[in-house]
Every structure is written in C-alpha cells, then in structure tokens.
Structure 1
C-alpha cells in the first residue's frame, strides 16, 4: 500500500494527513464485465480526445474506489502526478484540504456525497472545479448516486458535477464475479480452480470488496497452513 502525505492547514494548527492508496488497485486486476467502457474512458482521459472530467457513481462495493485509485496509478505510470482524496475520511477537516490541489494534473475525489449539504465544502468544491478547468487539469469524482441525487444545495456546483461524462458503474452478475475472483487470485499468484471460486461465491459475501477481502484471508491461511486452496480446506478454515 502506498501513501501520500498532505499538509492540511487548520486555524492555528497544521495537520499532516496520510492518505492510503492500495497498491493492488489497478486496472490490470479489475474485472470490468459490463463496465469496460468506463475503464476505456478512464484510460482515454490522457489522449487528445479524452474527457478531462468524469463522474462515476454506483452502489457500495461495485468498485468506484478501485477505479479512481487505478486511474491514479495509471496516470502516474504516464508521468502525471495525481492525488486521491477519500472525502468520507476528510469530511472532519476544513475544506482547506482542497486548496492548491488544481496544481496536480489529476485530482480524484472519492465519496463526494460525504460532504454535500455542507455549505463550506460545496463552495470549496465549486471553486476547485473552476481552477482545475482554468489549468486544463483532469478531475475524477465518485459517489454513491448520480450528480443530481447526492444532496447538493449549491446550484452552481450541481452544474459543475455534470460538466463532463457521467457513468454508472454496474454491479457484476454472478458469472462475472467468478471471473473477477479468478483474476484476483491469478494476480496474487494463487492457484484457484473455477469450482473453488464458485463455492466461495455461493457461501461468501455478495459484494466484490467483501469477496476480495475473504480471498485475501484465505490466501494468508493457505500460506500459513501450507495447504492448497481447496473446498475442504475452505470449509474447515471458515467453518462452512
């Protein structure tokens, strides 16, 4: 896991915030399924025909946070600096956290719904959008609902949220979830059969992040026990 440290200026004090970006949150281990167009547009953002502002929304667990962090890794790989800001973790701070962020080529704002309805944050977001546009920067936003349904009170901010492309990130069907588990296992160097992936899906969590967390747990358990990841081993380990 990589980290970026930012100095946040509060009245009469300065705080250092550590923002964690998952090292494994990359396009290479994201099974797109019905969201191939979303991944394509996020990568295309850096071409001359790409859209500099993209808004993603979807239910918890569909992968919006993964996509934003993957986009940051992708931009860094092209030589562009980026910053990932999970606003659900930053809402307790002053909106001054957004000051000067437009100086970076890519700003990724996750869980923006956590600060909507707050006049100070809405005003700060409005001005940040304008500054990013003036500098011809790139902006990614993710939320749990569409731009007009996340409780924004400032009309000008609503218009900014619909500047570019908006995509709903669709949940995966069960067969796609199996393929996503197999891809994640392969990327971890874990030998897992289709039957094992399907067994995990029938007994495990329904959301992908929950399934991936479970896979991580099983991977560690199999390494510790020096056992292959089989259905009998999973039954024993998880008491299923």
Structure 2
C-alpha cells in the first residue's frame, strides 16, 4: 500500500509523558531518573539506545533536553559542543552512527572526560555498538554502560494508545479508523498522534463523527493539497 508523506503542522513537544512505552518500560524508568537528576551508579551514567527508525530514540533524547544543564549533540553539531563543560550534567548524543570522522574523535574524548570529571551521557544509534561502522575505540565506549534496544510499538499497541488518546480528547473513533490509518499513513507514533489531532479538528469543522469515510476524505484532501504545492 502506498505510504503518504504529509507535512503535519503543530506537532506536540516531545517529552517522556507522551512517549508510549510499550516494551520499553525499564528504559523509560531509567531515563526518568536521569531527567529528575537522581544519583546513579557509574554503570547507569552511560546509556546507549538503539533501534529501527521511528522506534522513538530521538524522541527520548529530545525529551531529556529540557534544562540548561543538558546538551543535545549529534552529526551536525560543532566539535566544540563535544567538549566537557562543568555546567552540563547530561549529554545527549543522537544518531551517533552518522558521526563524521572528526566528530567520532570528539565523541571518544567526551566519553573519557565525562568519566573523569563527572556527568552522564545517553546516546542513540541504529544498531548495537558492536555492529556500528565507527572507530573501534568509540564502539568500545558506547558499550561501556547500559545498552537498551528501543522496541517499536506493535500495531495492537499503537491502536490501544491512539484509542486512549482519542478518549482523553473526548471523541470516539468508529471501528476500522485506526487499522486503516496505521496501514495508509506513516507508522511512527509522533506522526500518527499528529494525524489524530488533525482528524479531531476536521471532525469539528465538518460537524461529522470520526468514521472511516471521514478519515479517507481527510487523507485525500491532504494529499491533493500537498500535490498542489509541488506543482510548478
């Protein structure tokens, strides 16, 4: 089936509360400890999260980047951001598998500095450390602490989470709406949640209940609008 790639406006900020845990409850509990600044053992000061695209790795790291004492870094960051600073207690290294050669050296140095001077580092990548196409010394550092696979939600878990979200917003979804949505739209929860909001708004605008015909109509309308913006 064709997967539509629509641009959704007004996506909600990413935080730990709106991350659907699924099979990631242990990881979410650990990251919550980091968010609250709890004192953790050395092994928990370095956390590596890996998983397929759309599983929520970036969501988790962005959710932790909420104070002046945190720093989010990645493949597009300047090397200076990889230098340990005494006022930064938590570094968040996203997409480490995409680091350039120079930034791999900088990341290796940051690991060593954090271990010597204090702080914590949570990093993410597409694969387990041993399978990353990175410098051997950096792969070793990424495997220093705790390693978690970020499991994507199953279709049933997505449907349950979206059903609860709709109920919380005060509207009811007709049978078939969510199975159709997750098979005809982007499958990550951030996009699905944004589309659920848009579907709720469209229902209010048209004064019609949220049914499968309404969803199909909205998706077709959005697709036509997208195609019109791309036309010369």
TM-score for the superposition, normalised by structure 1: 0.73
Inter-partner Cα distance in structure 1 for 2:209 and 2:101: 54
Tell me the CA shift for residue 229 of structure 1: 3.2
Tell me the SS of whatever aligns to 1:103: coil
Q: Is residue 131 of structure 2 the alignment partner of residue 143 of structure 1? A: no
Instruction: Report if the CA contact (8 A) 1:53-1:138 is conserved.
Output: yes
Of the three residues 14, 36, 41, the one matched with 1:25 is 14
Asked if 1:127 is matched to 2:116, the reply is no
- Contact 1:57 1:64 (C-alpha < 8 Å) held by counterparts: yes
Aligned to 2:87: 103
The total of aligned residue pairs comes to 206
Aligned equivalent of 2:199, options 191, 198, 218: 218
TM-score, L = length of structure 2: 0.76
Distance 2:51 2:91 in 1: 19
SS in 2 for 1:28: coil
1:38 aligns to what? 27
In 2: Cα distance, 1:23 partner to 1:210 partner: 10
* Structure 1 unaligned spans of 5+: 1-21
Distance 1:204 1:190 in 2: 23
1:177 to 149, 158, 175: 158
Structure 1 stretches of 4+ with a deviation exceeding 6 A read none
1:194 offset after TM fit, Å? 6.9
Structure 2 residue runs without a partner (length 5+): 1-10, 222-232
Structure 1 residue 121: deviation in Å?
A: 1.0
Q: Give the structure with the higher percent strand.
A: 1
Among 33, 46, 54, the residue aligned to 1:61: 54
- Residues 217 and 164 (structure 1), Cα distance of their counterparts in 2 relative to 1, 3 Å cut: same
Displacement of 1:143 after TM fit? 0.9
